[in-house]
Amino acid sequence: MCLAVPGKVVEIREEDGTRMGQVDFGGVLKDVCLEYLPDLEVGEYTIVHVGFALQRLDEESAMQSLALYRKLGALEEEFGDQWGLAARQAGERRPPGTEWGEASQ
């Protein structure tokens, strides 16, 4: 499975003539191409797929998406504990007795 995941832009720069940025995915920072969203600013949320920011999101939508991915078990399965942290920040809870890094039952 390959997800388009919401993240928060924490830095914007130009690299070899290309608009790039660093995006925070619940504590995991990744370099992302921002060329498709030339007016995206630091502090805003975006959907990222295979290293490209594709769409601007409001914070509430970003948190809802992360929570839904967590409910589906997709975050932990694909990305591990840091993605579960993002879901927790969205207010989601795991059932008692389970850990964020465990696969959903």
Both tokens of 75, joined, read 């975050």
Bigger pLDDT: 44 vs 94 = 44
Q: Dihedral of CA 76/81/86/91: which sign?
A: positive
Burial-class residue 26 by CB neighbours within 10 Å (0-12, 13-18, 19+).
buried
* Domains within the chain, CATH numbers bracketed: 4-86 (2.30.30.140)
Cα–Cα distances (Å) from 96 to 9, 36, 38, 47, 85, in that order, read 33, 42, 44, 31, 16
pLDDT one-digit tens code per residue, 29-76: 889 999 999 999 999 999 999 899 999 999 999 888 877 777 776 655
In this structure, what token pair is assigned to residue 86? 């993002």
